[in-house]
């Protein structure tokens, strides 16, 4: 079969060569760069070639799109700014020292251009996603059956479980390149694309499952790890004979182990009681959803526009609990990348991934519906788009603005309560944040975070002298964060004696948690992440009685992995 494909591909290339030769001899002014020409999707589909086999790297290292994709290739060409757009013909084999040699993430090549997304008929049944811990055996058995049907499809079918898992791989490893800027990668994590991409991903996954089941009302269950009753892995995922099982999970975290939303990634597990663990988890949820997320830029993440390098900065929930739960489920004990769930290229291979992200999607809706924040209105966000195959195996282009209304997408969530809404962590008495009559030695950034680092950070005059009742948001920025693997560090404010702080206590304002990434820029792929972390300060300074202080003390505590920090500063209103 492979030989036959090679013969067909060789024949097509020979025909193309003769065609190009004819053009060149009849029209000397035409460019002699073969990548200036186009190969149609239908031609690639007939040959069976993967799109990255037909390389179009120009001499200057910048490739030219093979197909116009309806004009999308001209949207952002030659300028910085505008929505992020992807084209299937600019998807290539991911490169990186940690990837398996045979890793291929790009979806099958269609025979026609992608169609634009249209909302489902309002008369369709409303799909209700239920919490896995109370969904019932029949409901969970249906999800089991859907996964089994997807796994039974040929790998070449874009609706197969293999191809569905590859979607996450393609959008998270630098396989996709920005249309108009092919030297730059598309990465949906660590930016404002995180929530809308995963909502669209689940939408198509769910509809494919419903089509295979013959049940248009089917909805994916969600793993409600943010409420006490759901803080254990659902039992169905621990059954080794079930299609929902994945052997590449941390064996210590199987049921009845409670999830730890502040997991330190240590070999030695914590010895908290169940009540203590639940209390800490609820404190984390309050901080990440309430006190640390008053702005869209803090909840969603930083803007990521065409022509810019990826990973400008993640939102609160993405860092923790999202990233944290990926690593908690994955097997960091046996694999340095914490596969499956703990590695971006492999996370979609675990069926629990989709229930985990259903809960993440629910939290976006909770953040908006409880009046805690408003989404961006920036057209660069609203018009950014992604490619997915639908339940009819048609390639569809969907934009961020298409996924903002769950009701129009015809799905909802069954409520599980929000016990963390009032779980405001208490401050810790008698904790020093300055040593009296001692001038702190300034920290010379950048620093490698091998040990605890404490720095005094001056607040801009306009911040600490602003009148009481002012609504401007003060934001702590930990910038130029560099790491080459799975890592975690905690950030404390006004707590030099951080060891006295109860886990997840008020003075611990957040954690930076990272899965292993690769940077792709100017067609060069390197291991590592370069990004920033932002933490809202208004609530914490009020709780600590430090609203009128000229400076704050920031303590960075390493927990796992190697990290380099470029600096710490305070900015105004998150801008």
pLDDT at res. 20: 38
166 in the same domain as 105: yes
- pLDDT higher than 70, residue 154: yes
Q: Average the pLDDT over 366-388 and give the result.
A: 92
Instruction: Tell me the range of 314-323, 500-509, 540-549 where mean pLDDT is highest.
Output: 314-323
477 in the same domain as 396: no
- pLDDT higher than 50, residue 22: no
Is residue 57, in this structure, part of any structural domain at all?
no
Q: Average the pLDDT over 136-142 and give the result.
A: 96
- pLDDT higher than 50, residue 221: yes
Quote the mean pLDDT of the chain.
85
pLDDT at res. 268: 79
Residue 297 CB partners (closer than 8 Å, separation 6+) = 192, 303, 315, 376, 534, 574, 575
pLDDT at res. 465: 60
141 in the same domain as 214: yes
- pLDDT higher than 90, residue 518: no
pLDDT at res. 102: 86
For 510-528, the DSSP string reads EEEEE-B-EEEETTEEEE-
- pLDDT higher than 80, residue 69: no
220 in the same domain as 326: yes
pLDDT at res. 410: 98
Residue positions in the annotated binding site for Cu cation?
A: 168, 189, 198, 322, 326, 357
Share of the chain above pLDDT 70, in %: 81
Per residue in 449-458, pLDDT tens?
Answer: 999 999 999 9
d(CA 312, CA 80): 15
Is residue 276, in this structure, part of any structural domain at all?
yes
Is residue 1, in this structure, part of any structural domain at all?
no
Q: Average the pLDDT over 368-391 and give the result.
A: 93
Is residue 92, in this structure, part of any structural domain at all?
yes
Is residue 539, in this structure, part of any structural domain at all?
yes
Instruction: Give the helix ranges, DSSP H, for 351-422.
Output: 352-369, 379-382, 406-409
Is residue 420, in this structure, part of any structural domain at all?
no
Please report, to the nearest 10 degrees, the dihedral formed by the alpha carbons of residues 347, 186, 574, 493 taken in order.
40
d(CA 457, CA 238): 47
- pLDDT higher than 80, residue 157: yes
pLDDT at res. 34: 29
516 in the same domain as 404: no
pLDDT at res. 521: 56
374 in the same domain as 492: no
- pLDDT higher than 60, residue 178: yes
- pLDDT higher than 90, residue 255: yes
373 in the same domain as 282: yes
pLDDT band at 385 (very low <50, low <70, confident <90, very high): very high
Between 504 and 27, whose confidence is greater?
504
pLDDT at res. 101: 84
Give the global pTM: 0.86
Q: Average the pLDDT over 72-84 and give the result.
A: 64
145 in the same domain as 253: yes
Domain-ending residue, one of 413, 431, 456:
413
Structure tokens at 566: 């470029």
310 in the same domain as 264: yes
pLDDT at res. 526: 58
Q: Average the pLDDT over 17-28 and give the result.
A: 38
Q: What is the tally of structural domains in the chain? A: 2
In the 8-state DSSP scheme, what is residue 77? T
333 in the same domain as 208: yes
Q: Can you give the CATH number for the domain in which 210 is found? A: 1.10.1280.10
pLDDT at res. 500: 93
Q: Are the beta carbons of 490 and 505 closer than 8 angstroms?
A: no
Domain limits at 184? Answer: 79-413
Q: Average the pLDDT over 247-259 and give the result.
A: 96
Phi, psi of 511 (to 5 degrees): -130, 140
d(CA 92, CA 181): 14
Residue positions in the annotated binding site?
A: 168, 189, 198, 322, 326, 357
The pairing of beta strand 181-185 with beta strand 453-458: unpaired
SS3 462: helix
pLDDT at res. 438: 59
Between 372 and 165, whose confidence is greater?
165
d(CA 145, CA 130): 16
Handedness of CA 240, 246, 251, 255 (dihedral sign): negative
Place of tokens 């988890």: 281
Q: Are the beta carbons of 168 and 339 closer than 8 angstroms?
A: no
- pLDDT higher than 50, residue 65: no
- pLDDT higher than 80, residue 87: yes
Is residue 555, in this structure, part of any structural domain at all?
yes
389 in the same domain as 257: yes
Handedness of CA 272, 336, 528, 525 (dihedral sign): negative
pLDDT at res. 498: 92
User: For the chain, first and last CA: distance in Å?
Assistant: 56
Q: Average the pLDDT over 130-155 and give the result.
A: 97
Is residue 423, in this structure, part of any structural domain at all?
no
User: What are all long-range contacts of 99-105, with beta carbons under 8 Å and residues at least 24 apart?
Assistant: 99/173, 99/345, 103/169, 103/345, 104/50, 104/166, 105/166, 105/169, 105/170, 105/173, 105/175, 105/345
d(CA 559, CA 234): 28
- pLDDT higher than 60, residue 270: yes
282 in the same domain as 153: yes
**Lowest-pLDDT choice from 313-327, 431-445, 467-481:** 431-445
Q: Can you give the CATH number for the domain in which 535 is found? A: 2.60.120
């Amino acid at each position: 079969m492979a030989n036959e494909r090679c013969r067909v591909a060789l024949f097509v290339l020979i025909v193309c060569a003769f065609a190009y030769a004819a053009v060149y001899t009849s029209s000397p002014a035409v460019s002699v760069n073969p990548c200036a020409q186009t190969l149609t999707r239908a031609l690639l589909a007939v040959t069976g070639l993967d799109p990255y086999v037909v390389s179009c790297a120009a001499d200057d290292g910048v490739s030219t799109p093979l197909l116009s994709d309806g004009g999308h290739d001209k949207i952002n060409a030659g300028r910085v700014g505008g929505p992020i757009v992807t084209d299937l013909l600019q998807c290539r084999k991911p490169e990186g020292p940690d990837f398996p040699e045979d890793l291929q993430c790009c979806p099958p090549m269609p025979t026609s251009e992608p169609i634009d997304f249209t909302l489902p008929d309002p008369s369709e049944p409303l799909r209700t996603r239920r919490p896995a811990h109370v969904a019932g055996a029949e409901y969970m058995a249906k999800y089991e059956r859907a996964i089994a049907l997807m796994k039974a499809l040929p790998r070449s079918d874009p609706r197969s479980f293999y191809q569905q898992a590859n979607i996450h791989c393609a959008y998270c490893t630098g396989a996709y390149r920005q249309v108009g800027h092919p030297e730059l990668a598309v990465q949906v994590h660590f930016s404002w694309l995180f929530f809308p991409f995963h909502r669209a991903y689940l939408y198509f996954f769910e509809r494919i499952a419903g089509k295979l089941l013959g049940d248009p009302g089917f909805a994916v269950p969600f793993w409600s790890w943010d409420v006490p009753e759901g803080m254990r892995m659902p039992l169905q995922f621990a059954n080794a004979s079930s299609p929902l099982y994945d052997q590449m999970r941390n064996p210590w975290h199987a049921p009845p182990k409670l999830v730890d939303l502040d997991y330190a990634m240590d070999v030695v597990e914590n010895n908290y009681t169940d009540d203590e663990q639940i209390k800490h988890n609820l404190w984390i949820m309050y901080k990440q959803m309430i006190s640390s997320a008053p702005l869209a830029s803090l909840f969603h993440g930083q803007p990521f526009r065409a022509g810019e390098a990826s990973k400008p900065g993640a939102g609160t929930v993405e860092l923790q609990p999202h990233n944290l739960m990926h690593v908690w489920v994955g097997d960091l004990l046996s694999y340095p990348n914490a596969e499956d769930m703990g590695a971006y290229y492999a996370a979609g291979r675990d069926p629990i991934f989709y229930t985990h992200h259903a809960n993440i999607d629910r939290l976006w809706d909770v953040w908006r519906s409880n009046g805690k924040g408003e989404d961006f209105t920036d057209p660069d966000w609203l018009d950014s788009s992604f490619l997915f195959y639908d339940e009819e195996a048609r390639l569809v282009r969907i934009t961020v603005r298409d996924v903002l209304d769950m009701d129009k997408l015809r799905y909802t969530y069954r409520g599980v309560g929000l016990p963390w809404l009032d779980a405001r962590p208490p401050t810790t008495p008698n904790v020093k944040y300055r040593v009296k009559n001692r001038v702190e030695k300034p920290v010379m950034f950048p620093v490698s975070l091998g040990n605890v680092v404490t720095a005094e950070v001056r607040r801009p005059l306009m911040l600490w002298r602003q009148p009481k009742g002012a609504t401007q948001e003060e934001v702590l920025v930990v910038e130029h964060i560099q790491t080459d693997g799975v890592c975690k560090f905690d950030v404390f404010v006004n707590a030099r004696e951080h060891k006295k702080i109860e886990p997840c206590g008020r003075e611990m304002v957040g954690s930076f948690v990272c899965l292993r990434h690769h940077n792709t820029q100017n067609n060069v792929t390197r291991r590592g992440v370069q990004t920033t972390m932002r933490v809202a300060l208004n609530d914490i300074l009020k709780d600590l009685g430090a609203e009128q202080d000229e400076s704050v003390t920031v303590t960075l505590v390493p927990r796992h992995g190697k990290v380099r920090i470029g600096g710490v500063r305070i900015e105004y209103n998150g801008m």
